[in-house]
Amino acid sequence: MVAMSIPIAYFTVIVIWSTTPLAIKWSAMGSGYAFAVMARMAIGALLAALLVVWLHGGLPLHRRARASYLAAGLGMFGGMLCTYWGAQYINSGLVSVLFGLSPLVTSLLAVLWLGERALLPTKVAGMVLGSVGLSVIFAGGTELGGAHATVGVAALVVAVLIFSVSLVWIKRIDDDSPPLATTAGSLLVALPLFVTAWGLADGHLPHAVPVRATAAIVYLGVFGSVVGFALYYYIIRHLEAGRVALITLVTPVLALMLGNVANGEPITARILLGAGCITTGLAMHQWPAVAALWRDRRG
């Protein structure tokens, strides 16, 4: 990737991750969730493939690279399909809040699957508090919009689990291919699956996709699927873990506010309580990295 300002890359990732849930919701309005996610992935796959050929001369195809593409592609397919389906029934801000559970689930799976060191007490407390927040949100099914909202929340939880399993699987493979190549490879693996899912769910091209939905699909295909991931991997290589961890604390709050202002999504007391528990639990889980960053800066 061409060298760029770290603060600009950091800010851009926050903006992309904060706006992605609302864009997902808008992209499916008038086009259907299956078509929206399929079209997004087609745009992302084409762009990522062109960039890989331009910057790296093509995709690495050694054994670990292929295994990494498979793990990432299957995770992308299962996770995104559940996300798009569930997002039909819940607020966009809540989508971001629920994805705040990802680091908690991933660290637990890493202990079980990768044999990483035992969880610190603060991490365990963070997981417990995150579970409490999830329970609070589930308990408000009627308040969120009835049975469909409860099923929507459940679909997002499944999406988080799938993404977390995929991430740990990728880490277990330990491929050293360029991040952009992994992104392109995973999109190329996932795209035929998304086309199949669209065919089974509907299979018909929308007669007229609203302008807002079209803009959201293109935005997600370019920025959500390619630019966001590339910049995220870029800042991971240049910043301390504590600073990177702060992104996951900021984006759910911004997504809730954006959904309320731009889409008229209500922020109820129950959602605030559940989101507060999940965000606080995530902060406790990430505290060792953030605390280390603070000590280094003071030193």
For 161-186, how does the pLDDT look when each residue is reduced to its tens digit (9 = 90+)?
A: 998 899 889 888 988 888 889 889 99
C-alpha 58/C-alpha 67 separation (Å) is 17
Which range scores top for mean pLDDT: 71-80, 239-248, 280-289?
71-80
Whether 121 shows a pLDDT value over 50: the answer reads yes
Amino acid identity for residue 237 in this structure: R
Pull the structure tokens for residue 234: 């870029």
What is the C-alpha to C-alpha distance for residues 74 and 205, in angstroms, rounded to an integer? 25
Q: How confident is the model at residue 39 (pLDDT cuts 50, 70, 90)?
A: very high
Average pLDDT, the chain: 85
* Spatial contact of 249 and 282, defined as CB atoms under 8 Å apart: yes
* Token pair of 72 as six digits: 């990432």
Q: Which one has a higher pLDDT value, 55 or 124?
A: 55
Query: In the chain, pLDDT over 70 holds for what percent of residues?
Result: 87
Higher pLDDT, 194 or 274: 194
Report CA 168 to chain centroid distance, whole Å: 15
pLDDT of residue 98: 87
What residue has token string 């603070």?
A: 294
Say what percent of the chain tops pLDDT 90: 38
Q: How confident is the model at residue 200 (pLDDT cuts 50, 70, 90)?
A: very high
Its pTM stands at 0.87
Tokens 């417990």 locate to 128
User: Does residue 299 register a pLDDT over 60?
Assistant: no
Which residue from 88, 150, 91, 144 is spatially nearest to 269, judged by alpha carbons?
144
pLDDT of residue 155: 94
* DSSP state letter for 225: I
Nearest to 139 by CA among 125, 158, 154: 154
- Answer with the residue of higher pLDDT: 128 or 118: 128
Q: What radius of gyration, in Å, describes the C-alpha atoms of the chain?
A: 19
Cβ atoms of 183 and 226 closer than 8 Å: yes
State pLDDT tens for residues 56-99. Answer: 898 999 999 999 999 999 999 999 999 999 999 988 888 988 88
d(CA 137, CA 139): 5
* Cβ(45)–Cβ(188) below 8 Å: yes
Give me the sign of the Cα torsion angle 276, 263, 91, 255.
Answer: negative
Residues 236, 168, 226, CA angle at the centre, nearest 5°? 50
**pLDDT given for residue 1 in this prediction:** 47
Asked if residue 190 has pLDDT above 50, the reply is yes
The arithmetic mean of pLDDT across residues 277-283, rounded, is 84
